[in-house]
A and B are shown apart, each in its own frame.
Chain A
Amino acid sequence: MSEPGGRNSLEDSPDLPSATRSLSAAHAGESGTSAPLLRVEKVSHSFGAVRAVAGATFSVSGTGITGLIGPNGAGKSSAVGIICGNLRASDGEVHFDGRDITSKPAYLRARWGLIRMFQLSSDFSRLTVIENLLVAGQRQPGERLIVSLLGGRRAWRKREEELLAAGWDLLARFGLADKANDYAQTLSGGQKRVLELMRALMASPKLLVLDEPLAGVSPALADELTAHLLTLKQEGMAMLLIEHELDVVERLCDHVVAMAEGRVIAEGAMSSLRKMDIVQKAYSFG
């Protein structure tokens, strides 16, 4: 595994993507560690007659990795959709970092630091690898029409250079620097997962939501990704991990939420969840 990128003079900028500096304090949730960073309260969502999420309630801490497990059809991905703004909750509330975000669009949630990684590959194929990272950088004034038209390159170059430095730092750290100027579509499936993780980090997340990041990757790459996630955890990045592989969940997660039939059926450490009848039953018959 690559070593974390070194500190540099850009680290002190509050605007910088997380990877360029230590991830501990700044991304532990600005509201402190005592209150949960994310609260999901009695949320529901139906696809026609099928109730995918049925009053699920749980919270995610501002530190460490919270796991979300459950058999197929338990409502995990739908819950993630509701949390990240891709699905509308028909009932219930979602609070993030002190804000009620229940009815807020996905892009606003992302700007507030709730960043997700998709289950299926979602790279920007005809953008280069480094452009995939740059586009994730927040607070780039050059994305506003008036600035790009009237201000020209001068108005956004400084921020661009900061983002470029952060992007190269991430690429070096994750071992993809030699692919920086290749189109993302030319990467292998595993490299695309790494790219998406880097892209999510580039967006300065307060909470990183990972929807089955190891799905469909080779065992070797799964190990590598797991190691990356462990490092990020040690650096203080708060994460919500949806994962099928319970061994991985046990290894990574401090707190685990188990879902079945759209509801939360149990919470706690993975080792204790394994012993619960209700969880075993859900996995046996799920």
Chain B
Amino acid sequence: MSSAVQFYLAGVLVVAGVTIIASWGLDLQLGTTGVLNFGFVVFQAAGAYTTGVLTMGPASEHPGLSYIAGAHLPFIPALLAGTAVGGLVAVPIGLLGLRRLRADYQAIVFLVVSLIATDVVDNTRGFMNGAAGLSLVPQPFVSLLPVSPTGYLWAYSVITFVLVLVVWLVLRRVTESPLGRALRATREQEEAAAALGKNVNALRLLVFVIGGALAGLSGGLYVGYLGAWAPSGWLYPETFVFVTVIIVGGRGNKLGVLLGALIVPAFGEVSQFLPNSSSALFSGAIQWMFVGALLLVFLWWRPRGVIPEARRTFPAPASLPGIASRGISSATPGKQKFEGVSSE
């Protein structure tokens, strides 16, 4: 395999890992809890900017760039800070949008927050260098990883996927616990969930913060790969790429969302091979059309995605007569058995 192809593939893997982490964060909100966060990309941007400035050093070291909070932190603490800021930014926005509003109105609030955030950062040059954005973000672990660009990118993609695994394990503890069940109940019927003692506002804020933190983590990883970050890269439609990933993969199913994070960008890439794709403007527009068409196709014909949310089944106790015949007595007593649902 040529070095150029390897470089391309390693880059695709990094972007896929970033997309998987972000999409899992949004899926916890949208798929598991039913919170329509149409401003999700804002939290990714918060993580990316934070990680970026904390590794770039003071703005005085970069003539022509203007930003706040510059520092020379190593990548890991900066990435953790980006994750934390993603979660922290979610608190005020969540408090603003999640209380006393129906889900569809919440979606509009978050969409508007996304528009406002882009405009504010775009027009405030002293904050994060305005519309031009940050550049010269140092490559993470550059002194530790292989010197060749391709080797470095392979190593970075491995680091990204180690984090994907960690996020999977953490999210699994949330979604496969009674907390996950309470979140799904909130999604189905918030009034009934409250009538059974669930603090719906607190649960929604919780997933808003966890999702925001995961978005921040993905943004930090992404800026480490790109070396730059600007408002044009986190416009509000970017959130709908993650929404498409979730719808295509399967809402509430982490494996499905992982698949979606591979399918959707790949589908968008197909547009690059169309004739007349030499024009960047045309190519970009076609890519959006492809993603939009894919979203519509799935909403119409397979709304639960490639791998729908798993049905959690529980074995009947041995003392209950007449239940074993339904095929649910074989799982270990006291342990959940998970089954996929095919065509419900």
Instruction: List A residues at the B interface (Cβ < 8 Å).
Output: 84-86, 105-108, 110-111, 115-116, 118, 122-128, 130-132, 134-136, 138, 140, 142-145, 148-149, 152-153, 156-157, 160-161, 164-165, 168, 172, 177-178, 180-181, 183, 199, 203
Contact = CB atoms under 8 A, between A and B. Distances in A.
B174 A145 contact: yes
B323 A124 contact: no
B197 A124 contact: no
B170 interface: yes
16 contacts: A85-B194, A106-B195, A107-B197, A107-B198, A110-B194, A128-B313, A131-B312, A135-B185, A135-B193, A143-B177, A148-B178, A149-B170, A160-B178, A168-B316, A172-B320, A177-B322
B181 A110 contact: no
B196 A183 contact: no
A183 B311 CA distance: 8
Given A124-B193, A135-B181, A178-B323, 6 more contacts: A116-B195, A122-B192, A126-B187, A127-B185, A131-B312, A178-B326
Contacts of A181: 311, 313-314, 326, 328
Contacts, number: 130
Interface of B: 170, 173-174, 177-182, 184-185, 187-189, 191-200, 206, 309, 311-314, 316-317, 320, 322-323, 326, 328, 334, 344
Given A106-B194, A148-B177, A177 B189 contact: no
A176 to B, nearest CB: 11
Contact of B177 (A110, A142, A164, A172): A142
A180 B187 CA distance: 20
Interface pairs A-B: 9 shortest CB-CB: A142-B178, A148-B177, A122-B192, A110-B197, A124-B188, A181-B313, A111-B197, A106-B194, A135-B185
Contacts of A85: 194
A156 B178 CA distance: 8
Contact of B178 (A134, A149, A177): A134
